[in-house]
Amino acid sequence: MGNERRHVRLLVIAFSVLIVTYAIHWLYENPRVSRGEVEEKALGGKVLAINASALPTRAGDWELISAFKTSCVNETVRACIGLDFLGKRNVGGTEVWIAARAVAEAEPKNSSVRVVKAEIRVETFNNTIFGDMVPEDFVGAAVFKPLDGPFTVEARPCGDPNRFGCMVAFPEKPAWGKRLLFEAWPDFTVEGKPPAYSGRILVVFTVEYEVRTGYFTAEKREIKVELPVKFEIRYTGAI
């Protein structure tokens, strides 16, 4: 009888240690969070001069317009955004369709920092009409794997669908020190009257992240990187 009681007591102690260990680990991975600062960084605006006469008009054909060198802001999280653009036009020259590929990176400086959400947001203005955030030939649920990191990426509505588009990444599990690298594929239409007109978009890359301040506490911070782009469209030959 004494041996049975001892055995039960040991099981209770082992189970209690297991529960406490799990609770400590969970609290460490998911600390109590307080609100911290929000930083906004404006990158230099880009102006693209487009000779629309050279753009294709046939469905499925695209012409490379430009590729922007990746720009980075080095803070507690290194936030980078790069863009390249393809274009085509309609036969009458009153519309230029632009398809972009955006590649965004959020890399914590060490294992005491984690990304909890990242978003590429595209806003269009005036005569520039937003289309979508996924590839032209994409079919199915707009959920993607990132290029790097334990995250899930989704295209989500974020306002007037004719003006705004968002691609959002969030961790599948606590991602302390883990790099995030993901893509978005925004497209939009610039409307106007030949021989010259212009369009404008604003690309905003936002990273929400947490920084440990103690064993069970952290501070939530945010950084926004803004990149305005203007398209100067001209027809130098026959339309």
Same domain assignment for residues 129 and 215? yes
**Mean pLDDT over each residue of the chain, to the nearest integer:** 89
What span, in angstroms and rounded, lies between the C-alpha atoms of 178 and 64?
A: 33
Same domain assignment for residues 173 and 199? yes
Q: Per the domain annotation, does 239 fall within a domain? A: no
Same domain assignment for residues 92 and 186? yes
Q: Per the domain annotation, does 116 fall within a domain? A: yes
Same domain assignment for residues 5 and 39? no
Cβ-based neighbours of 95, under 8 Å, separated by 6 or more = 89, 189, 190, 191
Domain that holds residue 172: 33-234
What span, in angstroms and rounded, lies between the C-alpha atoms of 88 and 57?
A: 6
Please report which helix (H) or strand (E) contains residue 16, including its range: helix 2-29
Structure tokens at 239: 């339309």
Same domain assignment for residues 10 and 121? no
Same domain assignment for residues 37 and 9? no
| The pLDDT value given to residue 139 | 83
| pLDDT of residue 44 exceeding 90 | no
Same domain assignment for residues 192 and 80? yes
Write the pLDDT tens digit of every residue in 91-127.
999 999 999 999 999 999 999 999 999 999 999 998 9
Burial level of 154, CB count in 10 A (0-12/13-18/19+)? middle
Cβ-based neighbours of 203, under 8 Å, separated by 6 or more = 81, 83, 102, 120, 121, 122, 186, 226, 227, 228, 229
Same domain assignment for residues 10 and 109? no
Same domain assignment for residues 148 and 45? yes
Look up the pTM and report it.
0.88
Q: Per the domain annotation, does 230 fall within a domain? A: yes
Same domain assignment for residues 103 and 207? yes
Same domain assignment for residues 26 and 38? no
Please give the average per-residue pLDDT across 133-149, as a whole number: 91
